[in-house]
Amino acid sequence: MNRKNNLPSFAFLFLGAAIFSALGFGIGRNSGEITPLSIDGAADLIGLSFTPQEKDSMIGTLTTHRTNFELMRKTTLDNSVGPALVFNPLPQGFYPSQEQAAIDWGLPAKVALPTSDVDLAFMPIHQLAVLIKSRQVTSERLTQLYLQRIKTHSDTLACLVTLLEEEALTQARALDKELAAGKYRGPLHGIPYGIKDLFAVPGTKTTWGADPYKDQVINETATIVTKLEQAGGVLVGKFTLGALAMGDVWFGGVTKNPWNLKQGSSGSSAGSASAVSAGLVPFAIGTETLGSIVSPSTRNGVTGLRPTFGRISRHGAMALSWSMDKVGPISRSALDNAIVLSVLNGSDTKDPATIPAAFNYSAKKEVKKLKIGYFSSFFEGNRAGIENDRAVLELLKNQGITLHPVELKTSINAAPLVSMLLVEGAAAFDDLTRLGLDDQLVAQHKSAWPNVFRAARFIPAVEYIQMSRQRSILIEEMHAIMKQYDVIVTPSFAGQQLQITNLTGHPALCLPNGFGANGSPTSITLLSNLFEEEKLIMVGRLIQENSDWQAKRPPLFAK
């Protein structure tokens, strides 16, 4: 017998979905007899082999397991039901501060009202907030402006699922009355916004971008929607996402990049990023599991913040990976994202993965006191876009920042651990696969969800646990690197940093930094230690106040 790792024979009594699917308990098939030959087939898939005696001994146990699976599947599990095991990204001995101080945004006392509606539409939140507070513009006028732009451009971009016109105007008028009566809720008072259509809002369809769910109505309110409403935000629409939170292909087509309509907007927060880029809303909420804020923010030339895992509640959001899903804002600037984050931040009893932590940003803090590193080897060579990345380092140096070279070196290869996402996704959409509903998804290529979910059922439970154990090591090793610096600058897609930081739960701020040869935007990413997003905002604000990359507008939508 040839066993890897020389584990005792009882370790193989439970081999996960791999064996049971391969042994006649396949998707959409009747259960057949488990035989030594079927065990051989399953064992080949996971790189193991067993003696005839061991196979004979296993048959009874495997049959019992399969019967138990059949019993379990009589219980319907809604997507909102999470596993009993909750992921915690905190390294040993690390706890975020919960001492919340007063926030100083450093907003100007006065902002000039543009004469052009287009100029008004492309203003960032931190300027619109001053205009509303000073009553130079009303929430109703802003809301009408963005609603009209959505009506004009959303079909071209294929970025809208549901327009909430009546509800938005009613809310905007009420907020204007509040302001006139002296009640001001804060910088988001009267500011229109959109959400990715995987967040539940009563009375609206929550389609998850996928044909099997295109008429789904979930009668609950996502926590982030409740918080934004309480802060004075005006929800104007629900924007597209790639089906089940991957890519930019949804049941209505392909969401477009406003800079290049022949190109998709990337995903999965496709509609949120496209809409912000085209001036249809000043900000929108996205989610990221493995690049779904960073990638569309890059493609569309907007600023995306992926917060620390556990900082923002996911209650009312579609689950793809309970241990990797994160919620964050997409906007026109780092400061705008900070304003939104301050509202969304906080633990929620409805999401057991949330972690209480303060968010203490102040414009008075000196960015030059921060210790800033950069992954030096990622800035070497002649790859596409590297000059744009180097330009950010030069900008920081010109602002008097000392940059410290650092290498991203870990003993753990992050690539295999991404399979945890695939297993969790397959579990979240178990019925989609078992009932054959996956055939209704638009994308059916080998890398699309239908095939990915099917294949993920052959990843053994033992290997999933081993991935989780290696992830624990990765968390400690990444913490050892990050704690030496306040912020680390990195190309957005170089090396394994995107995979690693999504697995370890570290926050990231993705900023525009120019354009590629094809005319589409490029980006740079800032990383910080867990729950230190205020440092990302400090550095991001410095970069954006000394450059104009984020102020560029896609020409077709700037008229």
Same domain flag for 126 and 273: yes
Q: 396-407 burial, b if ≥16 CB within 10 A, otherwise e?
A: beeeebebeebe
Check: CB of residue 278 under 8 Å from CB of residue 299: no
| Distance of alpha carbon 395 from alpha carbon 362, whole angstroms | 22
Mean pLDDT of 464-492: 98
The 3 state secondary structure assigned to 136-175 is CCCHHHHHHHHHHHHHHHHHHHCCEEEECHHHHHHHHHHH
Q: What is the pLDDT of residues 247-285, one digit of tens each?
A: 999 999 999 999 999 999 999 999 999 999 999 999 999
Mean pLDDT computed over every residue of the chain: 94
Is 485 within the bounds of a domain?
Answer: yes
Residue range(s) defining the domain that contains residue 25: 1-75
End-to-end Cα spacing for the chain? 72
Task: Indicate the residue type of 242.
Answer: G
Q: What is the pLDDT of residues 421-466, one digit of tens each?
A: 999 999 999 999 999 999 999 999 999 999 999 999 999 999 999 9
Mean pLDDT of 167-179: 98
| Distance of alpha carbon 399 from alpha carbon 514, whole angstroms | 19
The pLDDT assigned to 31 comes to 62
Cα–Cα separations (whole angstroms), residue 379 to 332, 481, 524:
25, 18, 11
Same domain flag for 220 and 126: yes
Task: Indicate the residue type of 147.
Answer: L
pLDDT at 16 over 60: no
Is 431 within the bounds of a domain?
Answer: no
Cα–Cα separations (whole angstroms), residue 104 to 228, 509, 545:
19, 20, 17
Same domain flag for 12 and 125: no
Burial (CB count <10 Å: 0-12, 13-18, 19+), residue 451: middle
Q: Which of 456, 450, 457 is CA-nearest to residue 210?
A: 450
Same domain flag for 38 and 124: no
Q: Which helix (H) or strand (E) holds 66?
A: helix 52-72
Same domain flag for 203 and 257: yes
Task: Indicate the residue type of 453.
Answer: F
Is 91 within the bounds of a domain?
Answer: no
Is 215 within the bounds of a domain?
Answer: yes
| Distance of alpha carbon 415 from alpha carbon 403, whole angstroms | 29
Q: What is the pLDDT of residues 206-235, one digit of tens each?
A: 999 999 999 999 999 999 999 999 999 999
Counting runs of H as helices and runs of E as strands, what totals does the chain give? 19, 15
Look at the chain and report how many structural domains it folds into.
Answer: 2
Quote the distance between the C-alpha of residue 475 and its chain's center: 19
Per-residue confidence band for 13, with pLDDT thresholds at 50, 70 and 90:
very low
Q: Which residues are catalytic?
A: 196, 268, 292
CATH number for 154: 3.90.1300.10
- Last residue of some domain: 20, 43, 75? 75
- Last residue of some domain: 52, 75, 98? 75
Q: Indicate the pTM of the whole model.
A: 0.93
| Distance of alpha carbon 24 from alpha carbon 38, whole angstroms | 8
The pLDDT assigned to 10 comes to 25
Same domain flag for 6 and 138: no
pLDDT at 9 over 50: no
